[in-house]
């Protein structure tokens, strides 16, 4: 059963920063930029045609295969945090420095190095534990 398989799965990350968190995931199939893709007043993905269009990032751990743009994230995560609509964690396949700069400013845990096969194991709404200290994510349920 997928459930039993998932219980034992730990996914390895390359680089990570921040406190450990547990939350449901929002899995994206493409890059993400708070400026290009997000309504920063509701926390809902607003870009027409984005694979997560219409979904909220609030309180989620975002699984993002790659990156696009842009310097906006340097401020945007901090702004989202204070508006009460920030994600709880950011797990990338590939990232750029702005994502790290923005996440650190907002004290949101962040990592890169999640491989594509690992992304396929994750489903929207699943709870995961993201532990930057051990550079692991564990599927909880």
Partner 1 sequence: MHLTDIEESMLDGKKGEAIREALAFQLEVGKFFGAKRFVPITNAHLMGDIEVMGNAGLGLLRRLSDHHGQCAVPTSTNARCMHFGEVEELRQDIVEIEKEKEIVRHIKDMGAVATDTCINYQTVYQPKLGEHVAWGDTGTVIYANSVLGARTNYEGGMSSFAASLTARTPAYGFHLDENRRGSLQVNVKAKLLDTADWGALGKIIGHPNQDYFSVPVFHGIDEMPLSDHLKHLGASLASYGSMAMYHMVGITPEAMTSAQAFSGRHPDHIIEVTDADIASVYSGYNYLEAQANIVVFSGPQLSIFEMQNLAKLFEGRHVANGMHVFVTTNHAVWSDAKRLGYVETLEKSGVKILQGVCFYILQRLTQIREENGWTNLISNSAKLVNTITAHRFNTILRKTHQCVEIACSGKLT
Interface mask toward partner 1 for 81-110; x: CB under 8 A:
xxx----------xxxxx-xxx-xx----x
Total binding residues toward partner 1, as defined by CB under 8 A:
39
Binding status of residue 15 toward partner 1 by CB under 8 A: yes
Binding status of residue 63 toward partner 1 by CB under 8 A: no
- H or E stretch at 78: helix 73-83
Q: Are residues 37 and 74 in contact, defined by beta-carbon separation less than 8 angstroms?
A: no
Q: Which residues contact 128 (CB under 8 A, 6 or more apart)?
A: 22, 23, 24, 25, 61, 122, 137, 138, 139, 140
Binding status of residue 29 toward partner 1 by CB under 8 A: no
Among 21, 26, 28, 38, binds partner 1 (CB under 8 A): 38
Q: Are residues 72 and 106 in contact, defined by beta-carbon separation less than 8 angstroms?
A: no
> Contact residues for partner 1 (CB under 8 A)?
15, 17, 31, 35-40, 46-48, 66-76, 78-79, 81-83, 94-98, 100-102, 104-105, 110
């Amino acid at each position: 059963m997928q459930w039993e398989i998932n219980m034992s799965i730990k996914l390895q990350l390359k680089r990570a920063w921040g406190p450990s968190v547990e939350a449901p995931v929002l899995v994206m199939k493409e890059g993400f930029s708070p400026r290009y893709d997000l309504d920063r007043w509701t926390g809902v993905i607003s870009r027409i045609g984005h694979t997560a269009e219409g979904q909220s990032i609030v309180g989620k751990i975002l699984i993002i295969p790659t990156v696009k743009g842009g310097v906006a994230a340097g401020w945007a995560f901090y702004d989202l945090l204070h508006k009460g609509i920030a994600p709880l964690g950011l797990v990338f396949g590939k990232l750029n420095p702005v994502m790290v700069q923005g996440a650190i400013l907002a004290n949101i845990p962040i990592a890169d190095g999640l491989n594509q096969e690992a992304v396929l194991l994750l489903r929207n709404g699943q709870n995961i534990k993201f532990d930057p200290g051990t550079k692991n994510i564990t599927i909880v349920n």
